[in-house]
Amino acid sequence: MPQEILPIIKPDELIEVNRTSELILIDASNGYGAKENYGAKHLEGTLYVDLNTQLANINADVSIGGRHPLPTLEQFSETLTSLGITPTSHVVVYDDKNGSNAAARFWWMLKSVGHNRIQVLDGGFQAAIKAGFPTSSKTEIPLKKEPYKIENWLLPLADIHEIDKVADDKDFLVIDVRDEERYYGEEEPIDLVAGHIPGVINIPFTSNLDSNGFFLSPEELKNNYMKEFGNTVAENVIVHCGSGVTACHTLLAVAYAGLKIPKLYVGSWSEWSRNNRPITTSKKE
């Protein structure tokens, strides 16, 4: 069985590993112009994965599963196969927002189907360039491989009905990783309604990073999250964001800290806020 590796890889480590072994590099940047930017300049040898069409199965009705529901297992299997990824591949994924774009989501999804050799590039695209990783604008062709067989999502998931039951339960901890301004309803640039789920706490995903935009050390992250979790067992910790993408940044940080990965509520605020559920904008005293 391939040896499990740390979920974060530093730019200098990536350069060294790229010299000595076969990697599959993935650019998971998304948003306006992301695919065009990839075509114009990407890390040499990198393939592109699209959040909306490959890492999600978007419904016309966003109230069902939120803005970025998980794809079916069959759809994700097709994506991995199209990228030439096999169960033993060493995969490194990056984006242009240090994992908060979609790299961490791709990491979580691969990890959740039992793939061990998957890492997110610390500092993302810009950090790799600064470290001297070569770039390219040529069309990258994935290697043809056998179909990647998937049986189930193995990491824990929560749904809206579980949130209904546990958001105010003192034995559970539900974490919203959006920026404080969105959590308190001071602004809402994406979803229809501002605010947060009553009873949940706010730990912005940006607190996982230092002033230079790199992940804090595993020791610092462990210290921070152990304080937040308190006596709550990992099975009772649930993490969400706007649409189940940025929440994976925090799940990645928790894994990097050496702690058990909590549940992901994929529907997140985009689902909750469209289902006549209670909403608050109040700050705790």
Name the one residue in this structure whose structure tokens are 């824990």: 156
Question: Is there a contact between 121 and 94 (Cβ–Cβ < 8 Å)?
Answer: yes
Mark whether 173 and 258 lie in a shared domain: yes
pTM for the whole structure: 0.96
pLDDT tens digits along 31-75: 999 999 999 999 999 999 999 999 999 999 999 999 999 999 999
Mark whether 123 and 195 lie in a shared domain: no
Mark whether 104 and 204 lie in a shared domain: no
Mark whether 129 and 57 lie in a shared domain: yes
- Strands 237-240, 263-265: parallel, antiparallel or unpaired by DSSP? parallel
Catalytic residue positions? 241
Mark whether 229 and 166 lie in a shared domain: yes
Q: Which residues contact 264 (CB under 8 A, 6 or more apart)?
A: 108, 155, 156, 157, 158, 238, 239, 240, 244, 247, 248, 251
Mark whether 68 and 169 lie in a shared domain: no
Mark whether 20 and 98 lie in a shared domain: yes
Mark whether 126 and 163 lie in a shared domain: no
Q: Which residues contact 199 (CB under 8 A, 6 or more apart)?
A: 167, 168, 169, 174
The answer to whether position 150 is within a domain reads: no
The answer to whether position 152 is within a domain reads: no
- pLDDT in the model for residue 1: 41
- pLDDT in the model for residue 100: 86
The answer to whether position 149 is within a domain reads: no
Kindly report the CATH number assigned to the domain that includes residue 112. Answer: 3.40.250.10
- Which of 74, 107, 136 corresponds to the end of one domain? 136
The answer to whether position 78 is within a domain reads: yes
Among the listed residues 224, 212, 211, the one whose alpha carbon sits nearest the alpha carbon of residue 253? 224
| Rounded-to-integer distance, Cα 236 and Cα 274, Å | 24
The answer to whether position 249 is within a domain reads: yes
- pLDDT in the model for residue 270: 98
The answer to whether position 53 is within a domain reads: yes
The answer to whether position 115 is within a domain reads: yes
Question: Is there a contact between 137 and 100 (Cβ–Cβ < 8 Å)?
Answer: no
The answer to whether position 283 is within a domain reads: no
Mark whether 90 and 24 lie in a shared domain: yes
Mark whether 57 and 17 lie in a shared domain: yes
Mark whether 118 and 226 lie in a shared domain: no
- Total domains in the chain come to 2
Classify residue 202 as exposed, middle or buried by CB count within 10 Å of its CB (0-12, 13-18, 19+). middle
Range of the structural domain that residue 109 is part of = 8-136
Other beta carbons less than 10 A from residue 213's beta carbon:
14
Mark whether 125 and 196 lie in a shared domain: no
- pLDDT in the model for residue 284: 53
pLDDT tens digits along 200-211: 999 999 999 999
- Which of 107, 136, 165 corresponds to the end of one domain? 136
Question: Is there a contact between 189 and 245 (Cβ–Cβ < 8 Å)?
Answer: no
Name the stretches of the chain with pLDDT < 50.
1-2, 285
